[in-house]
Structure 1
Amino acid sequence: MSPFAVSIASIVLLALLGLPVGHAMIASSILYLMLAGLDMGTAAEQLLNGLFSSYILLAVPLFILAAELMNSGSMTLRLLAFCNAFVGRFRGGLALVNVLQSIIFAGMSGSAIADAAGTGKLMQKMMTEGGKYPPAFAAALTAATAVIGPIIPPSIPMVIYALVSDASIGFLFLGGVLPGLLMGLMMVIIVLRTARRRDFPVEPPVPLRSLPKVTLNAFPALLMPIVLLGGIYGGATTPTEAASVAALYALLVSALLYRSVSLKSVYASLLGSARTTASIGMLIAGALVFNYVVTVENVPRTLAAWLAGFELSPLAFLLIVNLILLVLGCLLEGTTILLVIVPVFIPTAQALGIDMVHFGIVCVVNIMLGLITPPYGLLLFVVSSISGCSLKEIVSEVMPFLLALLLALLIITLVPEVSLWLPRLFGYKG
């Protein structure tokens, strides 16, 4: 076996034995360097250069911290009350609230897991209280709506994609708005159809005279995406600086305006975000080292030359990438795919003239759908833990939503303007 084949086999074996993927990639990359007779210190050099020269990576822990602070305060509760006031009055109203809150919350956290673990717990309780909705349906809907989080800006996966592709984070964020809204619309259609067929309850309507008060209570929380995105596209902040503003804004609103956090809860938020960041950080570190191995082996160029032999059209290439990423999304963690698999496809995509913002949106949507695709489907395990439902029950309920989201992915793939119209409106020349 070649050193590269041994390295790949080592990653698979170590991962199967339970070692975190990031650690497995670092260990296997060092093994490759040793077998290939290269300087093993290169691993440390690549790791340090990658981490310390990537300013945009600072946005990841800051967006995670912002989401943690929102969940520890009462911002989430006020947002749910606001959503319920407008759509709760329709049949299946609480299910529609679940979709709407995910669209709004997506403009704040940038993380599907943060969405499901934060507002998901509250929505599960609200929907199942008094036997209004089957617990498995509520859990499946929470998992499906959570995938919108990293599509509508801000988005942690898009920050990571920008790291490996050199695409503009600002334009990637803009490119995710319409695809995210399209995915939300697809789920609204499924909810309305299911509510009518299964006769889901109608919530008591919130009186019109109460709407101004509910809106005012939620207004500081609703203002957060405007502050965040306004700073980026107004030229006042970089995406990383905007992430720090988001975290500070969440803290100030929760502590000074809503008075809903204590020093203990702030400490818990800092601790939770540090743990999540460390987990993502190890994956990034491992991928940086392993990507050096991939580059030494000339894998991207070899793959590009191999695919060129098939004379694929840009559309055929995108459909093949969709299929590969959907299959891998069932088995691998999303960050690993973005850091290890996607960079291999980028040279071919560029050679075929595929826009890097459009390609990034397609990749991120694929990877998010992997979070609710059996057998791995990380979000399915998260909501199973929250709801107490079995994985089998949740998978059965999530399938209509997954099929609707796959249709949305097909539209995003076939119609690049869905991703590119808004960036071009703001001056994108790609």
Structure 2
Amino acid sequence: MSVELLLCVGSLFFLAGIGVPVAYAILVASMIYVGAAGQSIGIVGKNLLDGIYQSFLLLAVPLFIVAANIMNAGTISDRLLNFCVATVGRFKGGLGHVNIMASLIFSGMSGSAVADAAGIGKIIIDMMRKDNRFTPGYAAAITAASATIGPIIPPSIPMVLYALVSNASIGALFLGGILPGLLIGAVLMGMNTYISHKRGFGIEAPVPLRQLPRKTADAFPALLMPAILLYGIYGGVTTPTEAAAVAAFYALLLSSLFYRALSLRGLFSIFIESARSSAAVGLVIGGALILNYIVASENIPNLLAGYLGELNVSPIVFMLGVNVLLLVLGCFLDATTIILVIIPLFLPTCRNLGIDLVHFGVVAVVNCMIGLITPPYGILLFVINAVTGIPLRDIIREIWGFLAILVCALLLMIFIPEVVLFLPRFAGYGG
């Protein structure tokens, strides 16, 4: 390892350790590397701008953010919740199932775990806490666990970022996330059923079956969002970025004209908030692109691939080792940083070992989502604590069972690649 790289890594960990935002820490550390190597600081700006402006795919990120914020506005969340209560609220632990099903549905609109937890998640937590139906800590924990589904079922901002660094098919990644997302929903519902029977959590008053068609029709236009996205991409009608634009436009039509739940003032606020979120993601992406330039300059991916090749590890051992590392890193780093900075280091080895990049990518994204609820720095735990006021210690006390079942689902995806690859291959993916 060169002196310049040591200075870069040391300054990065120091700045992050004293609380500097990760994006700024990466930018400053990159400048230190470039300066120590005797190169022009302008290289930092050039790589940042080239990486962002030359990637048409990256336009999908702000568009998905806009679509999610629009779908969060008005009465759409309420309509989706009424549909979920009507379908699964009648079973033991009813509102827990409603919580998970709402995340499954909302994930087809937002692509963001934080948007899910802070938006529709807060509404469900308030419902679960009413009349002491569920303990506050349990309501918060199951909301955090179910919010991890958001970026797994398409659309998915983390999968867009993974496609950026790996050149994997974004359409195959989106399709590959559907069955894992449903699997996670199923295991979380199983855990909720078990805990509800053990603790005596109740059921909701059953909604008469004759009302189910009306509630389904009420929510149906919102439920069409993921179908429109996948048909556009896999039907050859749109590129992934154009599909994101269609999703944002469809969300706007739905909220403003069909449901009449969005005013001009509300739309302006949505655009402001979306611009802020996009800028925050853009800073991390820019910093990661510069750091990736440094990593490539030091030839680290090829050195790592050569070292792992000498160890003669099997693909499954490699997958397990990488996922253990990602689970540990997920305790301290956010998903965007892991996907953009850490995961590219392992892609050459994946190619050498014959590991399908779509399988690896979906598993890595699921792993990063588990990191969002892993103490001590799981961001979803802090988001729910901030929007509900439920003490962090109560949330952490209840999260461990959900963490364990999510790790079991992750292992299933690792050992049985068809869980990820069945739908992409069915649609013609050749990986």
Structure-1-length-normalised TM-score: 0.98
Measure the CA separation in 2 of the matches of 1:17 and 1:142.
Answer: 30
Shift of the alpha carbon at 1:387? Answer: 2.3
Write out per-residue CA displacement over residues 368-427 of structure 1, whole angstroms, 9 at most, x where no aligned residue. 000000111000111111221221111111111110000000000011111111100011
Write out per-residue CA displacement over residues 207-239 of structure 1, whole angstroms, 9 at most, x where no aligned residue. 111111111111111122222222112111111
Measure the CA separation in 2 of the matches of 1:277 and 1:43.
Answer: 20
Name the aligned partner's letter for residue 21 of structure 2.
P
Measure the CA separation in 2 of the matches of 1:223 and 1:292.
Answer: 40
Matched, 1:243 2:244: yes
Shift of the alpha carbon at 1:33? Answer: 1.2
2:385 aligns to what SS in structure 1?
A: helix
Question: Paired residue for 1:27?
Answer: 28
Shift of the alpha carbon at 1:18? Answer: 2.6
Question: Paired residue for 1:201?
Answer: 202
Matched, 1:88 2:89: yes
Shift of the alpha carbon at 1:358? Answer: 0.3
Question: Paired residue for 1:51?
Answer: 52
Decide whether the 8 Å contact of 1:109 with 1:154 is kept in 2.
Answer: yes
Name the aligned partner's letter for residue 158 of structure 1.
M
Question: Paired residue for 2:326?
Answer: 325
Question: Paired residue for 2:336?
Answer: 335
Question: Paired residue for 2:371?
Answer: 370
Name the aligned partner's letter for residue 404 of structure 1.
I
Measure the CA separation in 1 of the matches of 2:42 and 2:327.
Answer: 36
Decide whether the 8 Å contact of 1:136 with 1:387 is kept in 2.
Answer: no
Name the aligned partner's letter for residue 377 of structure 1.
G
Decide whether the 8 Å contact of 1:73 with 1:260 is kept in 2.
Answer: yes
Question: Paired residue for 2:419?
Answer: 418
Q: 408-417 vs 29-38, which deviates more?
A: 29-38
Question: Paired residue for 1:266?
Answer: 267
Q: Give the 5 Å matches for 1:18-417.
A: 18-417=19-418
Shift of the alpha carbon at 1:107? Answer: 1.0
Decide whether the 8 Å contact of 1:116 with 1:383 is kept in 2.
Answer: yes
1:364 aligns to what SS in structure 2?
A: helix
Measure the CA separation in 2 of the matches of 1:75 and 1:396.
Answer: 32
Measure the CA separation in 2 of the matches of 1:123 and 1:243.
Answer: 27
Name the aligned partner's letter for residue 54 of structure 2.
S
Measure the CA separation in 1 of the matches of 2:228 and 2:175.
Answer: 15
Measure the CA separation in 1 of the matches of 2:69 and 2:292.
Answer: 31
Q: 239-248 vs 368-377, which deviates more?
A: 239-248
Question: Paired residue for 2:4?
Answer: 3
Name the aligned partner's letter for residue 425 of structure 1.
F
Shift of the alpha carbon at 1:40? Answer: 2.4
Shift of the alpha carbon at 1:21? Answer: 1.2
Shift of the alpha carbon at 1:197? Answer: 0.9
Shift of the alpha carbon at 1:151? Answer: 0.7
Name the aligned partner's letter for residue 310 of structure 1.
L
Decide whether the 8 Å contact of 1:106 with 1:152 is kept in 2.
Answer: yes
2:140 aligns to what SS in structure 1?
A: helix
Shift of the alpha carbon at 1:39? Answer: 2.7
Name the aligned partner's letter for residue 318 of structure 1.
M
Decide whether the 8 Å contact of 1:10 with 1:28 is kept in 2.
Answer: yes
Structure 1: runs of 5+ lacking an equivalent: none
2:224 aligns to what SS in structure 1?
A: helix
Shift of the alpha carbon at 1:38? Answer: 2.0
Q: 125-134 vs 36-45, which deviates more?
A: 36-45
Shift of the alpha carbon at 1:299? Answer: 0.7
Shift of the alpha carbon at 1:144? Answer: 0.1
Decide whether the 8 Å contact of 1:326 with 1:369 is kept in 2.
Answer: yes
1:33 aligns to what SS in structure 2?
A: helix
Shift of the alpha carbon at 1:428? Answer: 0.6
Shift of the alpha carbon at 1:104? Answer: 0.9
Q: 204-213 vs 152-161, which deviates more?
A: 204-213
Shift of the alpha carbon at 1:320? Answer: 0.4
Measure the CA separation in 2 of the matches of 1:367 and 1:253.
Answer: 32
Measure the CA separation in 2 of the matches of 1:283 and 1:35.
Answer: 23
Structure 2: runs of 5+ lacking an equivalent: none
Shift of the alpha carbon at 1:282? Answer: 0.2
Q: 164-173 vs 38-47, which deviates more?
A: 38-47
Name the aligned partner's letter for residue 77 of structure 2.
T
Shift of the alpha carbon at 1:312? Answer: 0.3
Q: 202-211 vs 366-375, which deviates more?
A: 202-211
Write out per-residue CA displacement over residues 99-138 of structure 1, whole angstroms, 9 at most, x where no aligned residue. 1111111111111111111111111111111111111111
Measure the CA separation in 2 of the matches of 1:52 and 1:174.
Answer: 27
Q: CA RMSD in A?
A: 1.0
Measure the CA separation in 2 of the matches of 1:169 and 1:361.
Answer: 11
Shift of the alpha carbon at 1:17? Answer: 2.6
Measure the CA separation in 1 of the matches of 2:290 and 2:26.
Answer: 7
Measure the CA separation in 1 of the matches of 2:308 and 2:302.
Answer: 10
Measure the CA separation in 1 of the matches of 2:174 and 2:190.
Answer: 25
1:309 aligns to what SS in structure 2?
A: helix
Name the aligned partner's letter for residue 202 of structure 2.
P
Decide whether the 8 Å contact of 1:135 with 1:387 is kept in 2.
Answer: no
Name the aligned partner's letter for residue 321 of structure 2.
I
Percent pairwise identity: 54
Measure the CA separation in 1 of the matches of 2:92 and 2:265.
Answer: 40
Measure the CA separation in 2 of the matches of 1:224 and 1:298.
Answer: 42
Measure the CA separation in 1 of the matches of 2:55 and 2:33.
Answer: 25
Name the aligned partner's letter for residue 196 of structure 1.
H
